[in-house]
Amino acid sequence: MKLTRRNYLALSAAALTGAAACRSPAVAETADYPTTPSMLPDRNSFSLGSVVYLNGGSQHPISKQAHQSVAAYLQHRETHPVPDPYSLNSDGVIEKFAKLVNADPDEITFVQSTTAGEQMIVKSLDLPKTGAKVVTDTLHFFGSFPLYGELEKSGCEVTWVQPRDGRISLEDMDKAITPGTRLVSLSLVSTFNGFEHDLKAVCDLAHSRGALVYADIIHAAGCVPVNLHASGVDFACCASYKWLMGDFGLGFLYVRRGAIGELKRTNYGYYGISEFATHMYPLDAPGDGLVDYAFSDDAAGWFALGTHSHTTIAMLDASLDYIQEIGVEAIQAHAETLTIRLKEGLASQGFELATPPETRTPIVTAIYADAYKKLNDKMKAAGIVTTVSRNRFRPTVSVFNTTDDIEAFLEAVGKA
């Protein structure tokens, strides 16, 4: 039986009642949570209390629906009742994510993290390779900078496109992506300032010159519309603990079906095997070798390794339903009403914005010398959770945020 968020409510009620002695009070309290609302903001689905949480772009709070789904999984792991009606919906989660980003399920596989997926792609493109050319930009995820720095040291030619006014221009990408470029690597939405690439335009340009494109979509999936097929991107990856409302240790890697022929196999994971027969154990059929095996010719066959986080899959089973039911367009529209006010308010209070004014992502970044020293204690005193770095701060909004949250933040920040 596939566990959906809807049939979970009926299923878990019986399971939790029958095992009351085994459950914790925290699990028991999840039984009457409301179903997904159709209007935003939605605070009822999250246990934020009085906290002003403007940090979904760092790690998103777990919803009550996801908590319920994990509780059902943990109940199953604790007791294994016989007959056990529970079934972890792993394939269903892949299908839900594929639908969210407009891809085919066989083009998606689980990976540990965005960084793991990006490095898998780079290695499978036979990089580093002396003389190979890579193009990236400095609004890409800063955690990827060492990867491309090491490629440079190993003989690759790496071109770093710099932003102008907080944007990576297509004109500058045009100059950088020359014939012979092997890979263009970027973040669809920048973790630094929320700038969003025109991914289709970049892919069209790159493909016209024989290059492949990798996109980090961790700051896009779940909060802005993503259409992987329409963009033409070859590879994309994201973890699930941000706007997908999952947790650490699990994400998704997309590999365009037509790009598989460009890859060199560098992963040999059990979860990618399509055929397997041993010839070494008692009663095995005879064979020419010790084992016969084959890998499936899809994303899993090329990049799936071993076990992955079942608790996060359980969370995502509920969270992806939640996102789909609200609709990414509605999530983006709600966020935009809040970020417009953030940008206007911060500018009027004298802050220098790193985020372009037209950006429609849920990230707003301001440059502020000694921001951590000046603001960290202020945020704590005001009950505000957000990202404050050494010389910048970055409030990020989500489905539960209200205009009151924005006004509280602006008041706490004060004048520049």
| pLDDT value for 175 | 98
**For residue 4, pLDDT beyond 70:** no
Question: What is the spatial distance between Cα 25 and Cα 22, in angstroms, rounded to a whole number?
Answer: 10
Q: Give percent of the chain above pLDDT 70.
A: 91
> What's the one-letter identity of residue 36?
T
Burial bucket for residue 388 (CB in 10 Å: 0-12, 13-18, 19+): buried
pLDDT band at 38 (very low <50, low <70, confident <90, very high): low
How much is the pTM? 0.89
Mean residue pLDDT of the chain comes to 90
- The pLDDT tens digits for 123-138 are 999 999 988 999 999 9
Helix axes of 114-124 and 145-153: crossing angle, nearest 10 degrees: 20
Confidence of residue 79 (pLDDT cuts 50, 70, 90): confident
Q: How far apart are CA 133 and CA 370, in angstroms?
A: 37
Q: Which amino acid is at 93?
A: V
Q: pLDDT grade, residue 20 (50/70/90)? A: very low
Rounded to an integer, the average pLDDT of 209-214 is 98
pLDDT on residue 5? 34
β-sheet bridge partners, residue 236: 215, 254
Instruction: Evaluate whether 124 touches 256 at the Cβ level (below 8 Å).
Output: no
pLDDT 10s digits, 146-187: 999 999 999 999 999 999 999 999 999 999 999 999 999 999
Q: Residue 114 in contact with residue 238, Cβ under 8 Å?
A: yes
pLDDT, tens digit, 9 for 90 and up, residues 217-242: 999 999 999 999 999 999 999 999 99
Query: Would you state the pLDDT for residue 85?
Result: 83
